[in-house]
Structure 1
Amino acid sequence: MSSSQPTPPPAPARYTVVARLLHWTMAVMVIAILFIGVFMVTSVADFNFLVTVHEPLGIAILIFVLVRIGWRRTHVPPPFPPGMGPLDRLAAIYSEKLLYALLLCQPLIGWAMVSASGQPIILFGSLHLPAIAPQNATLFANLLRAHIVAAYLLYLTFAAHLAGVLLHTIVIRDKVLDRMAFWSTPRSSRAAVQAERPVPSSRNSVDS
């Protein structure tokens, strides 16, 4: 009598192609703007040039965040890997929500800060954004402090998010990264790619 082999757990389903494109594009932009922020603090000679890159990049991140939230509200996210514990799931959900909140608020704070300084945010050539805050030195100083605090929180949250992904990918190896990856793995088959379908109005959380 032959013994039956245990059935391996199915590979985790993936996010839609659009969600994955938005995610990885935003990841590159966020890493770039974090490094630019560090260089702005440490480099006086290149400060003006870095500002001309930092400001439109921040607005681009704001647009991408809004698009990603809108996309998530109309598409079903893939489930977490079966072996992922409840505490890990809660940590992943709330760290992602914090990350999105910071990526949404930080560009708005920066936009208001520049407006309070009396300068426009120049996107390209003569194209610039309207002011969203009155010109005021005290308001500018308060917004600058808020922008710095939010930047530190963004650094820490992004680092925690990256550390969690690396832990699950290298140590736990539960294929959590497969949900957002474009590459194939030996156990990634038809079940690894979910067809896009509308999501009920009650599923409105933000993706990773």
Structure 2
Amino acid sequence: MQFFALASVLFTSAVVAYPSGNHSDPGPGPVNPPPPPPPVYPPGAICTPATYQCRSNPDGTWGWDVCDVDSRWKDGGNCAPSDTCIFNALNGSPYCVPTPGYTPGPGTCTPGNTRCTSVGSDWVTERCDSSSQWQQDTQCTADETCTYAVYTGDAYCVPKPDARVCRPGTYQCAYSSAQGGWGWEVCTVEGSWVWGGNCESTQTCSFNQLNGSPYCI
């Protein structure tokens, strides 16, 4: 009798430990979601933070852009309507110089004032005399151009800057509707951006800050 009682207890324990019936296998634990897709940047050039470029405005004036920490070109400022933006490829900075052929309008001669004036392909500084007439003051050399002092406004001769808008051999990401979307540009030996290639239609362009190269993602 004790044997049958013990057998009954063991059978009941087995049923509890291994219940019968159809039960689905719960399988492994929760599956991690897939990584998010790479960011899709809005149209616009991708650039190296803290770099600059000259910008031609729709109204014919010039200005410059600065690349922010998000690798986006931001408006850095504008030149005077009479000036052109020049890019110094040696130190990577843009600055404004008088546009060749520009002279102030009539009635702006105040005794003591100076101005830049182009004579052919050369530059001179002129000074307004006591009779309110412009007189040549300084002849700039063939290797010089004329610019104005920031605080006093005086005209003076300076060495001609590097007129390139980018550093030859460098790259930047760019978006072009004409080219069909994202791609990259390369700076030529003349210092101008030209289209370098296209990413796939499903890709965007990202910029490697370590080696200065763009790539498609």
Q: TM-score, normalised by structure 1?
A: 0.27
Q: TM-score, normalised by structure 2?
A: 0.26
Q: Going by fraction, where is helix more abundant, 1 or 2?
A: 1
Q: Which has the bigger relative contact order, CA under 8 A and spacing at least 6?
A: 1
Q: Rg bigger for which structure?
A: 2
Q: Going by fraction, where is strand more abundant, 1 or 2?
A: 2
